[in-house]
Amino acid sequence: MSGVALAVVVVVVFFLALYLLQRYGDLRKQQRMVLFGTLLSWFLCFLIIFILPLDVSTTIYKQCVHDNSNHPTPSPQARQANQTTGSSSLYPSLSVPEVCEEPWSYIPDGVLPVFWRVVYWTSQFLTWLLLPFMQSYARSGAFSRVGKIKTALIENAIYYGTYLLIFISLLIYVAVHPQWKLTWVELQTIGITAANTWGLFLLVLLLGYGLVEIPRSYWLSSSHSYLLAKTYFKAAKMATERAEAEENLADVMEEVAAVHESVRYNHSLRKCVDTILTKCPTEYQEEMGRNVESSCKEPKVLPTKRGLVKLHKKVISAVQRHSQTQVQSSILLDQAFHLEDVAKSQSSPVRHFVHNFPSAHHHGWIHRFIYTPTVEWYWECVFRQGFYRLLAVLLCLLSAAVVWSECTFFSTHPVLSLFAVFIRMAEKQYNYICIEMACFISIFFLCVCVYSTVFRIRVFNYYYLVPHHQTDAYSLQFSSMLFCRLTPPLCLNFLGLIHMDSAISHQDRIQTSYTTIMGSMHLLPFISDGFYIYYPMLVLLLCFATFYNLGSRCLNLLGFHQYITDDDLTSDLVDEGRELIKRERRKRQRAEDGGNRTGVWRERYGAQRTAERRRAGYTELKDNSPVTEIKKSVITFTSDGETDEQKIGLLQDNSSDEGSPKRSRSTGGRYLSLSPSRTGIFDDV
């Protein structure tokens, strides 16, 4: 199995990153460079998370081999003595087996250091240099690549200058100490330390929110009434945001229409105007085209190139925002309708889940075969509440373990970190599968707490991740930057929790390959012995603040409405959202009824029309005989005595149904009825 586990993990992680990118981004419309940068950054970050447990198990195996080579196999008396004194130290003299068992996921020597070096430095290059540039490039309103590159460089000049100033400050701090010699390795360590310090500062803030909010969200989600009230609240807020987005789009389209009328087709700026028009919605493009054709006004003041660049940027932002609000409104409506259906099914005596709008639920045959209406009723009305509450309790226990370990991981005698205790117990028996699973579950939970907070962040609606392919390029790249900056310090913090970082545990043990790439933090003692140890304790205060909703209450006071159950404004918004959902339900019900009636009419009269067409074809075959032709001529010639009004009436009567078998066509091109005309409502049908 040498190296196979690494290859399998790389492939799985790649498809995971691709799936998330397909869910949040638009693979067909967004720029290829944006998609490539986002996919690469997410892929590298997820690789660190999935490969680090393999690095831990491989390091423990190497420690076993090292101990076995330096110390002979102890006698039974020595083993018993070691077991009696083992509780006084972090890593006691273990009973080293004669032959160390190689883990199933063992990675050969020399592979992991190169792997970590490539992954880490590529992710750092993306997050500090390339992604900020690409972010400004994608947001730029310039009409050429050179113009977008110029705009991106200007916007990032201050950004790059700030980081350069911080790096120079750390460089001066190291240079004033004569006992330190600046080498290339030490410069790398200073850069890594600066990046990890910034990442750890943000990591603790996000972690303190996620450790409380995720278990609480699952506990509250077990109540359908709470979910329905919160959905009403979101619907009311979304209605306001949707109205603002529509007004903003209409204002921007007015500016575009004015520019479209003022810049004629022979002007040098016309190409830029056409580029802006291609970014506008189709209905606005058609309306502008009609207005230009009908307008005969004098041309207005011509815009400048810089004004068109700003207008182009505004159009891109307004159209993207309008599209996002439309999709989010549709998602909220579906959620509200589903929760209302659940409330009705709970009070229904029939154990069969009924959707009021079945046409809105399109699933494959596998889903319909397994998740039947009866199974759905039992899940939504019986098992879901208990399952969510059990999951919330388990997540709460994990959160408590993380908070306790973050506050006590610096203590090595005795060992207080729960994660270090678990890894130590598995290490005694060299149970590599348990070690890897414990590491993976712990890192995965930490990442969920941090990344879910990143996915929920909304700063003035400027950037946030929206599912169903509605996330803009700027938000995708911003999330990529945060992932690349948060993942390395998160994993380094986890290694400190399990006491496999020498800068924290101060133990003479073989270090993981990931820790060796990070370098020795003892170069900056005020960071390794101060900030890295005591700053994570701040997570306890942040958890208390999140538990009492202090952040939500502050945002609510600033005008950013948050869902707080004991707030009057929240109750008003819930009532407003309930009325909006009722209105949308009536509207969708009318559309559903209209569609059902149309389907019934098609099913009822489609077969009749097909039968009439078949009879008409059979009649035409019979009418091809010579006797029929003679009768047609006689009828045609004898009709010359009819008045013009009768002829017009015959033409109007026969033109409404050309496929009738009781009508024939004369050589003069007139249609005459061979039977008395009927004026019934459904004759044409």
User: 569-598: buried (b, 16+ CB within 10 Å) or exposed (e) per residue?
Assistant: ebeebbebbbebbeebbeebeeeeeeeeee
Those residues whose C-beta lies under 8 Å from the C-beta of residue 148, and which sit 6 or more positions away, are 137, 140, 142
Higher-pLDDT residue of 268, 555: 268
Higher-pLDDT residue of 31, 52: 52
- Tell me the average pLDDT across 602-606: 72
Confidence of residue 613 (pLDDT cuts 50, 70, 90): low
DSSP lists the bridge partners of residue 672 as 664
Q: Is the confidence at residue 596, as pLDDT, over 70?
A: yes
- Among 284-298, 378-392, 489-503, which stretch is predicted with the lowest mean pLDDT? 284-298
- pLDDT for position 606: 66
- pLDDT for position 524: 63
Q: Is the confidence at residue 580, as pLDDT, over 80?
A: yes
Find how far residue 352's CA is from the centre of its chain: 32
Task: State how far the Cα of 16 lies from the Cα of 3, in Å rounded to an integer.
Answer: 20
Six token digits for residue 503? 């800068």
Q: Are 272 and 305 in contact (CB under 8 A)?
A: yes
Q: How many residues does the chain have?
A: 685
Q: Are 584 and 243 in contact (CB under 8 A)?
A: no
DSSP lists the bridge partners of residue 664 as 672
Q: What is the pLDDT of residues 128-137, one digit of tens each?
A: 888 988 888 8
Q: Is the confidence at residue 158, as pLDDT, over 70?
A: yes
Task: State how far the Cα of 596 lies from the Cα of 593, in Å rounded to an integer.
Answer: 5
DSSP lists the bridge partners of residue 450 as none
> Which residue from 453, 423, 451, 458 is spatially nearest to 438, judged by alpha carbons?
423
Task: Transcribe 620-660 into DSSP letters.
Answer: HHHTTSHHHHHHHHHHHHHGGGS-HHHHHHHHHHHHT-TT-
- Tell me the average pLDDT across 15-26: 90
- pLDDT for position 178: 66
Going from the C-alpha of 511 to that of each of 70, 446, 514, 521, the distances in angstroms are: 17, 22, 8, 13
- pLDDT for position 679: 42
Task: State how far the Cα of 416 lies from the Cα of 90, in Å rounded to an integer.
Answer: 10
Residue type, 480: S
Confidence of residue 649 (pLDDT cuts 50, 70, 90): very low
Q: What is the DSSP letter of 673?
A: E
The percentage of the chain sitting over the pLDDT mark of 70, rounded to a whole number, equals 76
- pLDDT for position 526: 65
Six token digits for residue 61? 């195996």
Structural element, H or E, at residue 668: none
Task: State how far the Cα of 154 lies from the Cα of 580, in Å rounded to an integer.
Answer: 46
- pLDDT for position 88: 40
Confidence of residue 658 (pLDDT cuts 50, 70, 90): very low
- Among 38-42, 85-89, 149-153, 257-261, which stretch is predicted with the lowest mean pLDDT? 85-89
DSSP lists the bridge partners of residue 673 as 663
Six token digits for residue 127? 């997050």
Strand segments, DSSP code E, in 319-383 are: none
Q: Is the confidence at residue 665, as pLDDT, over 90?
A: no
Q: Which residue has 């009567």 as its token pair?
A: 653
Confidence of residue 82 (pLDDT cuts 50, 70, 90): very low
Structural element, H or E, at residue 455: helix 432-456
CB atoms within 10 A of CB 224: 17
- Model pTM score: 0.76
Q: Is the confidence at residue 366, as pLDDT, over 80?
A: no
Q: Which residue has 């043990």 as its token pair?
A: 509
- Among 18-22, 365-369, 440-444, 525-529, which stretch is predicted with the lowest mean pLDDT? 525-529
Structural element, H or E, at residue 77: helix 76-85
Q: Which residue has 């007139």 as its token pair?
A: 670
Three-state SS for 228-289 is HHHHHHHHHHHHHHHHHHHHHHHHHHHHHHHHHHHCCCCCCCHHHHHHHHHCCCHHHHHHHH
Q: Is the confidence at residue 359, as pLDDT, over 70?
A: no
- Among 119-123, 126-130, 167-171, 218-222, which stretch is predicted with the lowest mean pLDDT? 167-171
End-to-end CA distance of the chain: 72
Q: What is the pLDDT of residues 167-210, one digit of tens each?
A: 787 678 767 776 666 677 777 777 788 788 888 888 998 999 99
- pLDDT for position 371: 84
Q: How many CA atoms lie within 13 A of 169 on its CB side?
A: 8
Structural element, H or E, at residue 672: strand 671-673
> Which residue from 490, 492, 507, 411 is spatially nearest to 453, judged by alpha carbons?
490
CB atoms within 10 A of CB 280: 21
> Which residue from 43, 37, 36 is spatially nearest to 12, judged by alpha carbons?
43
Q: Is the confidence at residue 31, as pLDDT, over 90?
A: no
- pLDDT for position 553: 78
Residue type, 373: P
Task: State how far the Cα of 439 lies from the Cα of 53, in Å rounded to an integer.
Answer: 5
Going from the C-alpha of 317 to that of each of 4, 29, 311, 461, the distances in angstroms are: 46, 15, 10, 11
- pLDDT for position 18: 93
Task: Transcribe 295-352 into DSSP letters.
Answer: --PPP-PPPPHHHHHHHHHHHHHHHHHHHHHHHHHHHHHHHHHHHHHHHHHHT-SS--
- pLDDT for position 525: 66
Q: What is the pLDDT of residues 381-434, one digit of tens each?
A: 889 999 999 999 999 999 999 999 999 888 878 888 999 999 989 888 888 999
Q: Is the confidence at residue 286, as pLDDT, over 80?
A: yes
Region class of 509: left (phi > 0), else alpha (psi between -120 and 50), else beta: beta
Task: State how far the Cα of 436 lies from the Cα of 430, in Å rounded to an integer.
Answer: 11
Task: State how far the Cα of 420 lies from the Cα of 20, in Å rounded to an integer.
Answer: 32
Q: Count Cβ atoms within 10 A of the Cβ of residue 457 and give its class: 0-12 exposed, 13-18 middle, 19 or more buried.
A: middle
- Among 185-189, 295-299, 537-541, 601-605, which stretch is predicted with the lowest mean pLDDT? 295-299
Six token digits for residue 427? 């290490």
Confidence of residue 363 (pLDDT cuts 50, 70, 90): low
Six token digits for residue 62? 């190497």
Q: Is the confidence at residue 219, as pLDDT, over 50?
A: yes
User: 418-434: buried (b, 16+ CB within 10 Å) or exposed (e) per residue?
Assistant: bbbebbbebbeebbbeb
Q: Are 639 and 651 in contact (CB under 8 A)?
A: no
Those residues whose C-beta lies under 8 Å from the C-beta of residue 632, and which sit 6 or more positions away, are 664, 666, 667
Task: State how far the Cα of 685 lies from the Cα of 683, in Å rounded to an integer.
Answer: 5
Q: Is the confidence at residue 639, as pLDDT, over 60?
A: no
Q: What is the mean pLDDT of the chain?
A: 78
Six token digits for residue 586? 């009536």
- Tell me the average pLDDT across 599-603: 74
- Among 26-35, 117-126, 139-148, 453-462, which stretch is predicted with the lowest mean pLDDT? 453-462
Six token digits for residue 81? 């003595």
- pLDDT for position 616: 57
